[in-house]
Amino acid sequence: MARRTSTSSAPSTPAASRPTPPVGVLERGISVLECFSEERLRLSLRELAEYTGLDKATLLRLLGVLVKARMLQRSESGQYSPGPALLHMGMLYRDSFDLGTRLQPVLHAVMQRTGETTAFYVRSGEDRVCLYREITHKEVRHHVEPGTRRHLASGGASAHILLHYTGSPTPHLKQIEEKGFVLTRAERVPEMASIALPVFEGDGSFLGALVVIGLASRHPEEAQLAGVAYAREQLALHGFLTQPPAGWTVQAHGG
């Protein structure tokens, strides 16, 4: 499914219902950056004030610093959007895992075999973050970019894998324990089906979740199961485990 980029227009928020702004300067800057999302790529000063609870004078000072640091950029129309420094930091974060050279061939092979989008997610706080992906060339498809964040609570097969293996509850516990994967259909996105399995390093450390996402009408359950079986083969060829080793225990997520 193609990703839409839009210029969000925040509804007018009564002052009484606005969020309480953070106190510290650093926390305020972070709160500004966290206003942006896949659905809110460009925001005005008014919208940022409503989302953060900060007054416009304070916001202008913060925005000036963030623009100078290239974490944000300001358009001629006065709207703000993420800047190139964030992309640079995101790439450093991704590279710090030292997984790309091993995982990307797996994702590509699974995408070629299944004909559907494949992605690898890790947990970050209460979100899941896409580190790597391979997009199918089919016209109707699920589209995700590296760095995309989704709330774990919003569901999706990879979310349940990440929740379980980082010590959080999931309604798919029985499926994970019995089958070692999570299969969902139209749980988060209507008409989409996804199947995800855990990825462990050779030493048994949990890395994240590999997911195959496709249009439910052309990706029936049999195709999903065949795809996850092939993913297991490919991961094993590149030195990854898809089941926790004997004696492995879930480590609670620290935030």
DSSP letters, 11-28, are PP--GGGSPPPPSSHHHH
- Cβ 134 vs Cβ 111: under 8 Å: yes
pLDDT tens-digit series, residues 29-74: 999 998 998 788 999 999 999 999 999 999 999 999 999 999 999 9
69-89: average pLDDT = 92
> pTM to 2 decimals?
0.66
Structure tokens that stand for 16 in this block: 């009484």
Give the number of C-alpha atoms closer than 13 A to the C-alpha of residue 40, restricted to the C-beta side: 16
138-146: average pLDDT = 63
Q: Which helix (H) or strand (E) holds 255?
A: none
Structure tokens that stand for 25 in this block: 């300067």
What is the band of 96 on the pLDDT scale with cuts at 50, 70, 90? Answer: low
Give the separation between CA 93 and CA 240, rounded to whole angstroms: 21
Token pair 């100078």 in the structure block, residue: 68
**Inter-CA distances, 102 with 10, 72, 211, 212, Å:** 41, 32, 16, 17
- Cβ 241 vs Cβ 202: under 8 Å: yes
193-201: average pLDDT = 93
